[in-house]
Amino acid sequence: MINLILFGKPGSGKGTQAEFVKKKYDLIHISTGDLFRNNMSNNTDLGLLAKTYIEKGDLVPDEVTIKMLEAEVNTHPNANGFIFDGFPRTTVQAEILDQFLSTLNLSISLTIALEVDENLLIDRLISRGKDSGRADDQDRSKIQNRFNEYNKKTSPLINFYKIQNKFFKVNGVGDINDISTRIFNTIDNNI
């Protein structure tokens, strides 16, 4: 069983690469961003709550996100493994994820951070925003706020997983297939 976390700043390609990894290793892909967006487009209570944070580029509160994540994992009792994309994003989320997985006799196998320069990410996000209409991708100050949230709240997780020897970096710039190959090699060499 492989349980993988994909890290990376907004726009770094987590969602794209998660799809390739999911297919190759037969994993369940859980993207908290996608789950929130589905809830927002269906106008659920969770979606309406999440929207107030997401549209500003803020993180949704931990307790809300964790509850949603646990419910999603529990819908796949026979999974071969999970790829977590966009979760955990804070130390509290990482600690609770470890506790939660241990109740299922599972643990994180490894974590991979896709590294891309912020200037390149801004260009990618603005162009994604034009195509998708995502409000949080269309405004430079919201994008900058998401980078700030990442640098302040998510970066400390690097150390959290480094001390467990579970943290690996992959260059996220270049051809999409080359980046996938780098990720596959990192997984195969470290599980």
**Do the beta carbons of residue 29 and residue 46 sit within 8 Å?**
no
Q: How far is the CB of 34 from ligand ADP (least distance, A)?
A: 6
Is 41 or 78 the residue whose CB approaches ligand ADP more closely?
41
| DSSP symbol at 136 | G
> To 5 degrees, how large is the angle CA 23–CA 179–CA 97?
60
Catalytic one of 128, 153, 166, 169: 128
Determine phi and psi for 131, rounding to 5 degrees.
Answer: -75, -40
- Would you count residue 36 as binding ligand ADP (CB under 6 A)? yes
146 flagged as catalytic? yes
| DSSP symbol at 73 | H
Residue-wise burial string across 66-83, b where 16 or more C-beta atoms lie within 10 A, e elsewhere: bebbeebbeeeeeeebbb
Question: Which residue in 4, 13, 89, 187 binds ligand ADP (CB under 6 A)?
Answer: 89
Residues 97-126 that bind ligand ADP (CB under 6 A): none
- Would you count residue 33 as binding ligand ADP (CB under 6 A)? yes
Nearest to 86 by CA among 100, 72, 107: 72
Question: Which residue in 32, 39, 111, 180 binds ligand ADP (CB under 6 A)?
Answer: 32
Question: Which residue in 54, 108, 112, 157 binds ligand ADP (CB under 6 A)?
Answer: 54
Catalytic residues: 14, 89, 128, 134, 146
Residue numbers at the binding site for ligand ADP (CB under 6 A): 10-11, 32-33, 36, 53-54, 57-60, 65, 86-87, 89, 93, 136, 146
